[in-house]
């Protein structure tokens, strides 16, 4: 491991210019040393707080095969939430036995595929899924966990809040669904290893995860006394936020793990349980390890009440980063060219929505077409949420390897790929 790398990932001008020239923009850039360092730090922090831990990487955050291979190399389990994500892990060389399969509506074919691959764990989300599993189960190495809804309300955008009672995810503890699920799974001889929850994402206040963990721990203790069932695993999910802007103040991972574990462990200790504790972060592992490079294009100013607004258009937008449009996510935007005078501008994309990517950010007053901008903290939920909207090809991804040398890990989508799935029926081709 080389000397620690600063977070979040940032490029100097010569490197940014070299990468932009070689691979084009928009361009996702990831750092291998930073990803490895972040995983190791998270693991060490968790391990320092509790003796028996397990860390998964939530591959939905960024499913680049290179990252999955690195996470596996760093001994993480891989959380997959679809057959596609499972196939991604397999393509990256991750054994299915190291994968954990999530999803609130897994279909029978997905489940059959996962079992055929000998997946390590299936996290059963609801009563019909438990019934289906019991009806098809044959002795095998796969474990089952139950996803529970602990009924906590995370302080985050409603679109990424998942732990509350009114949620499509998990078996509610409060209305008895969780206990019913456990009874059915045990009666059906499913190998239930324990319980799981994930209460939300980009959480800057840890109270929701802690309350969710406490809810799981209390439930596990109560199931021990009521059903004589001993949970071997409790997974507290992901959710730890990152500082995408200077206003975001997440806990450092050491304090977070200490606080989270302390309150959960107290309940487990009192109930005589010593399960393996798991966490399943995505954003906190990869978010700061990636950035996006854009090139500035059209610049215009418009009159607004009390002054003028400057729009700075870049060569990407909604299709490579839908998060601002989806839930108002904010980022820092940095010009690669230093300037003595800064002025506020709204960075917008090329798409047919207003596509205000980064409203009201400070940029050089003399910003000009052709300038490069970097947007740190886009390693999570950017590439994996990208689309072809407006027929924009998905950007390339470059991984900076251990000594900083770039490796192309995903090339820019070609026009041939863009149209590969289409067919013009007879008589429509002219
Ligand atoms: C089940 C589950 N685990 C883990 C995660 C990762 O969350 P985050 O990236 O916020 O850590 C998610 C995200 O939605 C999830 O649904």
pLDDT at 344 over 90: yes
Q: What is the percent of the chain where pLDDT is above 90?
A: 92
For range 177-190, the mean pLDDT: 98
Q: Which of 99, 289, 352, 377 is catalytic?
A: 352
pLDDT digits (tens, 9 = 90+) for 411-423: 999 999 999 999 9
Amino acid 154: pLDDT: 72
Rounded distance from Cα 117 to ligand 1 centre (Å): 23
Under 8 Å between Cβ of 150 and 235: no
Residue from 35, 105, 239 to probe ligand 1 pocket by mutation (most atoms less than 8 Å from CB) = 239
Rounded distance from Cα 357 to ligand 1 centre (Å): 23
Amino acid 293: pLDDT: 98
CA 281 to ligand 1: nearest atom: 11
pLDDT digits (tens, 9 = 90+) for 123-145: 999 999 999 999 999 999 999 99
pLDDT at 165 over 80: no
For range 348-367, the mean pLDDT: 91
Residue 22 confidence class, pLDDT cut points 50, 70, 90: very high
As a residue count, the chain comes to 430
Question: Residue whose CA is closest, atom 5 of ligand 1?
Answer: 238
Rounded distance from Cα 313 to ligand 1 centre (Å): 32
Rounded distance from Cα 238 to ligand 1 centre (Å): 5
Q: Which residue has the higher pLDDT, 280 or 4?
A: 280
CA 280 to ligand 1: nearest atom: 4
pLDDT at 298 over 80: yes
Under 8 Å between Cβ of 78 and 87: no
Residue 295, both tokens: 């090139």
Q: Which residues contact 286 (CB under 8 A, 6 or more apart)?
A: 30, 35, 38, 57, 61, 62, 67, 379, 380
Residues in contact with ligand 1 (CB, 6 Å cut-off): 58, 60-61, 79, 102, 198, 201, 237-239, 280-284, 380
Mean pLDDT is lowest, of 78-87, 113-122, 159-168, 272-281, for: 159-168
Residue 221 confidence class, pLDDT cut points 50, 70, 90: very high
Residue 299 confidence class, pLDDT cut points 50, 70, 90: very high
pLDDT at 1 over 60: no
Amino acid 162: pLDDT: 66
Residue from 77, 280, 285, 377 to probe ligand 1 pocket by mutation (most atoms less than 8 Å from CB) = 280
Residue 21, both tokens: 């020239």
For range 265-280, the mean pLDDT: 98
Residue given tokens 């349980």 in the structure block = 273
Question: Residue whose CA is closest, atom 2 of ligand 1?
Answer: 198
Amino acid 327: pLDDT: 87
Catalytic annotation on 140? no
pLDDT at 35 over 90: yes
Residue 19, both tokens: 């990468």
pLDDT digits (tens, 9 = 90+) for 203-213: 999 999 999 99
CA 202 to ligand 1: nearest atom: 10
């Amino acid at each position: 491991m080389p000397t620690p790398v600063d977070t979040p990932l940032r490029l100097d001008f010569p490197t940014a210019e070299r990468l932009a020239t070689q691979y084009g923009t928009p361009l996702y850039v990831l750092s291998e040393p930073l990803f490895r360092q972040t995983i190791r730090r998270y693991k060490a922090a968790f391990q320092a707080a509790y003796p028996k831990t397990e860390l998964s990487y939530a591959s939905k955050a960024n499913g680049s095969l290179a990252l999955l291979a690195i996470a596996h190399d760093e001994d993480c389990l891989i959380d997959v939430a679809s057959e596609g994500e499972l196939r991604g892990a397999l393509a990256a060389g991750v054994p299915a036995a190291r994968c954990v399969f999530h999803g609130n509506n897994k279909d029978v074919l997905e489940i059959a595929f996962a079992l055929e691959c000998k997946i390590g764990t299936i996290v059963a989300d609801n009563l019909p899924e438990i019934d289906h599993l019991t009806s098809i189960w044959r002795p095998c190495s796969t474990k089952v966990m139950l996803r529970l809804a602990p009924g906590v309300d995370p302080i985050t955008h409603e679109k990424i809040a998942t732990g509350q009672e009114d949620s499509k995810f998990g078996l509610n503890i409060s209305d008895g669904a969780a206990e019913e699920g456990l009874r059915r799974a045990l009666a059906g001889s499913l190998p239930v290893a324990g319980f799981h929850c994930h209460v939300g994402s980009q959480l800057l206040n840890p109270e929701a995860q802690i309350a969710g963990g406490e809810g799981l721990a209390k439930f596990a203790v109560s199931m021990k006394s009521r059903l004589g069932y001993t949970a071997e695993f409790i997974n507290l999910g992901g959710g730890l936020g990152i500082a995408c802007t200077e206003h975001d103040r997440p806990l450092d991972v050491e304090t977070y793990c200490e606080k989270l574990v302390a309150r959960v462990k107290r309940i487990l200790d009192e109930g005589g349980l010593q399960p393996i504790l798991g966490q399943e972060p995505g954003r906190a592992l990869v978010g700061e390890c990636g950035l996006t490079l854009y090139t500035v294009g059209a610049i215009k100013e418009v009159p607004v009440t009390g002054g003028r607004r400057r729009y700075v258009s870049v060569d990407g937008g909604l299709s490579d980063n839908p998060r601002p449009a989806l839930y108002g996510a904010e980022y820092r935007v940095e010009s690669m060219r230093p300037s003595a005078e800064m002025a506020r501008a709204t960075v917008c994309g090329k798409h047919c929505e207003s596509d205000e990517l980064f409203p009201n950010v400070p940029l050089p007053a003399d910003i000009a077409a052709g300038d490069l901008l970097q947007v740190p903290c886009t390693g999570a939920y950017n590439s994996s949420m990208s689309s072809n909207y407006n027929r924009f090809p998905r950007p390339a991804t470059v991984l900076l390897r251990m000594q900083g040398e770039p490796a192309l890990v995903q090339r820019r989508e070609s026009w041939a790929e863009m149209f590969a799935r289409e067919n013009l029926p007879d008589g429509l081709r002219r």
